Chain A
Amino acid sequence: MKHLTEEELIQYGYGEGDKTLIEEHFAVCMECERAYGAVQSDLAEMKFPNPPERPSGYGDTVWKVLQNQLPAYESRKRTWLGGGLFRGLGYATACALVLVCAFVGGRLWERRQAEIAATKHAVPAPPVIAHPPQRVVVVVLSDHLDRSERLLVELKHVDADSTEMVSPLRDEARSLLDANRICRQNAKHEDDPALTGALDHLDRLLAELANEPGGLNSATITRLQDEMNKNGLLFEVRVLRSRIPHSPGAGADNSKGGTI
């Protein structure tokens, strides 16, 4: 049988250890039970004098001694407030500023990168041409003046007695009449008095050619030829056509051209 150690007996004496196991062992082992009795006796003998009683005001006495030695916590609190808290707020503000700057900088950088990318990948813009919308008008006017010039040339040289020659003139005059009115309105809108005046003369001529009551006869043709020569309408149309750039028959140096 294995006996209990002194350590186990002492622990048991202080109420620790496996009580059940030890008590079961005591039941069958007189030697250990006697050993425990000795331990118990020794522990009971170890009586030390109680500490002397301190007066009821002992705590106050201790506090009076300490009171003047203790540093003021208030000042440490102020130090914490003055240093720690505001320092912490300072750090927090600095961090917030850094974050804001980083955010704004990032946004700007992103936008700039997008612009650069857009510039790189963008299709080059066509060169700016002065009055681009007028180019169509210019072409139409040029064509109109060209056709009008041909009509006037034919009218100038037509045989007034030949009905076969006069009929195509009337048809051409009818087809030019609408275009002439549009060009005239545009010229008036563009405040071009020379062009407006020439187109006015042309309009009257075209109207008479197209809408002469009873048809075109030799007297009417002769009269219109006289008026055309008198007004110098053919010359005027040619001058105007020469002002228009890129127009068929226009001079290469007529770069300014004319607009309606």
Chain B
Amino acid sequence: MRMDKNDHAAIQAVLSGNKEAYGALVVRHSQSLFRVAFRITGNEADADDVVQEAFLRGYLKLESFESRANFGTWIYRIAVRCALDKIGSINRMNDRMRVGTETDPEQDEIQVADETAGPDRLLLSGEIAAMQRDAMFSLTVTEQSAFVLRHMEGRTTEEIGDALGIAPNAAKQAVFRAVQKLRRRLSSLRVRI
């Protein structure tokens, strides 16, 4: 991927002391960062925080940015890691707040929305989306992120590995485990229905 000339010029301006030039980079890449941040965190407010945090980290690390690289890819990778940090901290907070219910064998059944609805209706309803989201949060942070980048963002295995800071083979395995878990989760749901 070739480096955008406008991005390159803006980066040079920023490093030369023109702080305002960074505004152009923020405006140009905010939307894509918000999308990936929302897909990983699943929350608008958290996604907004991730976007701001990513641009802040990017600004502070701008001197280490290699001019041959693509700023869009570079800041995207930072955003993914910010999102991972975000959901990691959220998960830790949820773990502290969760009291005993995790061991309840009936917990999964509570999440079933409507047992009286037929399968076709269930697949089309918003309930299934909610269950998928719940299933997503049963994944590890790496699996979830790898799945988002593969399934929703359409990134290659190499790009996923690069964004998550893991080897391509590990990224492939993470995607596989995520899909496998989601399928089983959704499969058991259909069986009960």
Contacts and interface: CB of A to CB of B under 8 A. Distances in A.
B117 interface: no
A63 B33 CA distance: 13
Interface in A41-90: 42-43, 45-49, 51-52, 54, 58-60, 62-63, 65-67, 69-74, 77
A46 B183 CA distance: 9
A196 B176 CA distance: 130
Nearest to A67: B23
Contacts of B47: 51
Contact of B182 (A14, A46, A67, A74): A46
Interface string B43-57: 010011001100110
Interface residues of B, number: 47
B172 interface: yes
Contacts, number: 101
Contact of B180 (A10, A66, A77): A10
Interface of A: 6-7, 10-11, 14, 16, 39, 42-43, 45-49, 51-52, 54, 58-60, 62-63, 65-67, 69-74, 77
B107 interface: no
Given A45-B123, A62-B55, A10 B175 contact: yes
A40 to B, nearest CB: 11
Contact of A65 (B19, B34, B52): B52
Interface of B: 14-19, 22-23, 26-31, 34-35, 38-39, 44, 47-48, 51-52, 55-56, 59-60, 62, 123, 128-129, 132-133, 136, 150-152, 157, 172, 175-176, 179-180, 182-183, 186-187
17 contacts: A6-B176, A10-B175, A14-B150, A16-B172, A42-B186, A52-B44, A54-B31, A58-B31, A59-B27, A60-B23, A60-B27, A66-B22, A69-B56, A70-B19, A70-B56, A73-B17, A74-B17
Given A14-B175, A46-B132, A66-B56, A52 B38 contact: yes
A42 B183 contact: yes
Which label, helix, strand, loop or mixed, suits the secondary structure of the B interface? helix
Contact of A45 (B22, B51, B186): B186
A119 to B, nearest CB: 62
Which label, helix, strand, loop or mixed, suits the secondary structure of the A interface? helix
B59 A51 contact: no
Contacts of B56: 66, 69-70
Contacts of B17: 72-74, 77
